[in-house]
Homo-oligomer: A and B are copies of this chain.
Amino acid sequence: MNMRDVARRAGVSSATVSRVLNGSPLVTERTATRVREVLDKMGYIPNPHATTLKYGRSKTYGLIVPDIWNPFYAEFLGAFEHLVREIDYELLFTNVEDDAKLVSSVRRMLMRQVDGAVLMASEFDTKAIEPLLLHKVPLVTVDRRAVQTGCSDVAIDFESGFQHAVKHLKELGHCQLGFIGGTEGLKTSRVRFQAFRSALEHNGLTFHQEFVCTGNYRVDGGDLAVRALWERPMRPSAVLTVNDLTAFGVIRGLHRMGFAVPRDVSVVGVDDLLLSDVMQPELTTIRVPRQRMAAVCLEALNYTKEDVHRRGRRFSVPTEFIVRESTVHASCSEKTRAK
Contact = CB atoms under 8 A, between A and B. Distances in A.
Nearest to A58: B49
B280 A255 contact: yes
A248 B275 contact: yes
Nearest to A222: B278
A272 to B, nearest CB: 13
A245 to B, nearest CB: 8
Nearest to A108: B90
Contacts of A11: none
A280 B279 contact: yes
Interface string A18-52: 00000000000000000000000001011111101
B93 A81 contact: yes
A94 B49 CA distance: 19
B93 A112 contact: no
Interface string A74-86: 1101100110010
A92 B95 contact: no
Main secondary structure of the interface of A (DSSP, over half): helix
A104 B85 CA distance: 9
Nearest to A107: B45
Interface in A140-198: none
A93 B91 contact: yes
A219 B49 contact: no
Interface string A86-104: 0000111111000001001
B90 A112 contact: yes
A133 interface: no
A110 interface: yes
A213 to B, nearest CB: 19
A43 B132 CA distance: 12
Interface of A: 43, 45-50, 52-53, 58, 68-69, 71, 73-75, 77-78, 81-82, 85, 90-95, 101, 104, 107-108, 110-113, 131, 219, 248-249, 252, 255, 274-275, 278-280
Given A45-B107, A74-B77, 13 more contacts: A45-B110, A47-B53, A47-B113, A49-B49, A49-B53, A49-B112, A50-B53, A68-B81, A71-B71, A74-B74, A77-B95, A81-B94, A90-B112
5 contacts: A69-B274, A71-B74, A81-B93, A82-B95, A278-B279
